[in-house]
Amino acid sequence: MNKRQIIISTVSGIIILVIAVIINKQMANSAKLPERKMERTYKTVSTTAVRNGQVQFKLPVYGKLSAYNRIQIYAEVNGILQPTSQNFLEGVSFSKGERLLQIDNTEAMANLMGQRSNYLNAISAVLPDLKLDYPADFNSWLAYLENIDINSNAPTPPKATSKKAELYLTSRGVYSSYYNLKSAEARLEKYDIHAPFAGVVTLSNIRPGTLVRPGQLLGEFISAGMYELETSISIRFLPFIKEGNVVQLHSNDVPGNWKGTIKRINKKIDESTQTINLYITVNANDLREGMYMEGTLEGITVEDALAVPRRLLIDNNHLFIVQHDSVLEKKAVSILEYTEEEAIIRGLDDGLRLVKDIIPGAFSGMIVRENKQEKTN
C-alpha cells in the first residue's frame, strides 16, 4: 500500500468516526422527554373599596344595681327598743312615714313636760310687767299663752314690738325657756324613727327588748323599686352621651327587659382607663339590689369611621389590603369600639382595597388574585 492509499484510508476513518458521533448525539437527544412548563397559582381574595362615613351602633353597658335611696340608721339616744306593729327585720317593707323603730322615751317625755311647765311659768311671770311697762306686747303674749297646748309642741312666740321689750323678755328667761323646750321636743322625736320613703329593710342589728346606745348602728333601709346602675364608657363617646338618654337593660339570670335613663354623668375621668362613669336609674319592683345587668345605649354615631367584621382583624389592630391589584399589605388601624360582631375602626383611606376573606398563611408582599366587590359588609 502506497502512501496515497494510506492517507485516503485515514481520512475515511475520521469521517466515519465523525458521522458515528453525530448519529449518537442525535439518538441521545431523541431519547430525552420534552420539558413541562410549570404554571404558578395564586389565591383569589375578595376585596371591596373602603368608604369611610357615619357608623351607628349600640354602645354596650353593664354593671350592678344599687338602691337609689339608702339610709343607715344610727341611734342618737339610749333606751330599750319597744315592739311595733311591724318588727324591723330584713325583708320587711314599710310605707313612707310609717314607724320603723320606737325606743322607750319615758325619761325624755318627763323631761319635756318639765320644760313645758318652766316655759309656761316664765311667760306667766312676765305678763303683769308687760301690761304695765309694755302694753303693746301684753295682748299678743296673753293670747299666745292661752293657745299653748301642754300636750303639743310649742308654737313660735310672738315678736316683740320694741328692742326694750325684747331685752326685758330675754332678761326674764322667756326665750331661754322656749329654746330649752324646743331642744327637749327635738330630742323626744329621736326616740321614734319613721321611714323617710317607701322601702325595705336590708339590715337589722337590733331586736325588741334590747338596750339601744347612742351611735349604735340599728340597720339599713333602702327604697323599693328604684335602683341605680353605675357603668363606665370611653371618653371618646362622651360627646354622644347626655342626661336623659334611654338605655335598654336585661339580665342573664332573670327574664325580662327594663328601660333605664341616664340620670348623672361624672365629671371626673379615670386616669388609668380613660373612662367616665354614667349613672342609670331604673324603676322596677321585680329587680333586686346587687343584680348584674347588661344593656345597650342606642343612637351612638361615629363620624369618619368604618365597620368591619371582627374576624378580619389581625394582631388585634391590623387589616389586610391589596395594593397594585395583586400585592397583600398589612395595615395598622385604630379601634374605636367593638360590638358583638364588628369593630369600628379608623385608619384606612377611602379607595383602599380591603380584603374580606380570612387567608391562611397570608403575609405582607404575598401575591394574590383580586376579586373586587362593592360593599364592605
pLDDT tens for the chain, 377 residues long, are 555 666 666 656 667 666 766 766 666 555 555 555 555 667 888 889 999 998 887 888 899 999 999 999 999 999 999 999 899 999 999 999 999 999 999 999 999 999 999 999 999 999 999 999 999 999 999 999 999 988 889 999 999 999 999 999 999 999 999 999 999 999 999 999 999 999 999 999 999 999 999 999 999 999 988 999 999 988 878 887 888 888 999 998 888 999 999 999 999 998 888 899 999 999 988 888 989 999 988 777 788 899 999 999 998 899 999 988 888 899 999 988 887 788 889 999 999 999 988 888 888 888 888 888 765 44
Q: What residues are paired with 77 via a beta bridge?
A: none
228 CB burial (10 A radius; 0-12, 13-18, 19+): buried
Closest of 54, 13, 59, 10 to residue 300, by C-alpha: 59
218: enclosing H helix or E strand: strand 217-223
pLDDT value for 98: 95
CA dihedral 142, 144, 145, 151 (to 10 degrees): 170
- Hunting for cell 362615613 — which residue is that? 53
pLDDT value for 155: 93
DSSP code per residue over 71-84: EEEE-SS-EEEEP-
| CA 188/CA 53 separation, integer angstroms | 68
Domains delineated in the chain = 45-53+304-373 (2.40.420.20), 59-66+226-303 (2.40.30.170), 76-104+191-215 (2.40.50.100), 107-189 (no CATH)
| Cβ burial 176-201 (10 Å sphere, 16+ → b, else e) | ebbebbeebbebbeebebebebbbbb
Determine contact, residues 232/268, Cβ cutoff 8 Å: no
- How many Cα atoms are found within 13 Å in the side-chain-facing hemisphere of 271? 0
| CA 305/CA 240 separation, integer angstroms | 15
CA triplet 24, 29, 35: central angle to 5 degrees? 170
pLDDT value for 112: 94
| CA 126/CA 331 separation, integer angstroms | 95
pLDDT value for 337: 80
DSSP code per residue over 129-180: HHHHH-HHHHHHHHHHHHH--TTSPPPPPPPPSSHHHHHHHHHTTHHHHHHH
- How many Cα atoms are found within 13 Å in the side-chain-facing hemisphere of 150? 11
Q: What residues are paired with 323 via a beta bridge?
A: 327
- How many Cα atoms are found within 13 Å in the side-chain-facing hemisphere of 196? 9
* Close Cβ partners of 83 (under 8 Å, ≥ 6 residues apart): 208, 209
Q: What residues are paired with 55 via a beta bridge?
A: 302
| CA 101/CA 88 separation, integer angstroms | 7
pLDDT value for 58: 80
pLDDT value for 376: 46
- Please state the φ and ψ torsions of residue 171, each to the nearest 5 degrees: -65, -25
The reported pTM is 0.64
